[in-house]
Amino acid sequence: MYATVLLFVFMCWTASAHADQPQPCRSPNMTGLLSLKGTLGEVRALGVFTYDSMHKKLRFQSNSSLSMDVTLDLDLLVFFEEGILYKIGKNQSCEKKSLQSKNHPFAIPNDATYISTMTSGSIFIEGEGLKFQIWTIPTPGYKGQSFMCATMGCLPLSTMFARESSGFVYSNLNVELDIKDPDLLVVPPFCQGLHVEETPEGTVYDFYEEFL
């Protein structure tokens, strides 16, 4: 895993020698599919997401019946600004958790560092290449590495996330630039009035933790 990461960084580094330094941008509102692949290529999660980039709200629902490989059934409603994550279970159960890190695969964080700009496919043939920026993302609180690729219009394409022995790639697919169903971003009645669960001392809880 680390060898791959190092190669990736090296490639990015050499390509960046003469580039100027873009600043992290704000992603648009989005509806799309999120897929999460593990190191062995297994699809851990696949499902629809809705992201409100102005209020930093997210809904993601992974459905294991969509694909035979998918192992996680997840329904997450996240308010990144407030640092609150609701984990919605079957039968209208609900957990309310507090986030110590606001990183997630739908926005470039303000403390990201620009590495380089590249084109996937062809630079020379119109419509046959996709130009994107690569960013490194700090991973405070634990040993890990994270990179994000985003289009020139600030649409996150994929986020690579490695933590000690595990590594994941989050990909955003079939994205549309609006919110189809705003109701998905509203706290359901059965989640209201819950107490926030305590995060064990010395641990960092974030969005990625739900996928480990």
Ligand X SMILES: *[C@@H]1O[C@H](CO)[C@@H](O)[C@H](O)[C@H]1NC(C)=O
Which CB, 50 or 103, lies closer to ligand X? Answer: 50
Which CB, 65 or 110, lies closer to ligand X? Answer: 65
Locate the DSSP E strands across 63-201. 74-79, 84-88, 94-98, 113-121, 129-137, 144-151, 156-163, 166-176
Q: How far is the CB of 17 from ligand X (least distance, A)?
A: 35
Which CB, 27 or 103, lies closer to ligand X? Answer: 27
CA gap 133, 66 in Å, rounded: 31
Q: How far is the CB of 91 from ligand X (least distance, A)?
A: 4
Q: How far is the CB of 174 from ligand X (least distance, A)?
A: 16
Which CB, 9 or 66, lies closer to ligand X? Answer: 66
Q: How far is the CB of 147 from ligand X (least distance, A)?
A: 26
DSSP string, 20-79: --PPP-PPPPEEEEEEEEETTS-EEEEEEEEEETTTTEEEEEE-TTSSTT----EEEEEE
Q: How far is the CB of 130 from ligand X (least distance, A)?
A: 22
DSSP string, 123-135: SSSTTSEEEEEEE
Which CB, 15 or 33, lies closer to ligand X? Answer: 33
DSSP 162: E
Residues binding ligand X (CB under 6 A): 28-29, 52, 54, 61, 63, 65, 91, 179, 182
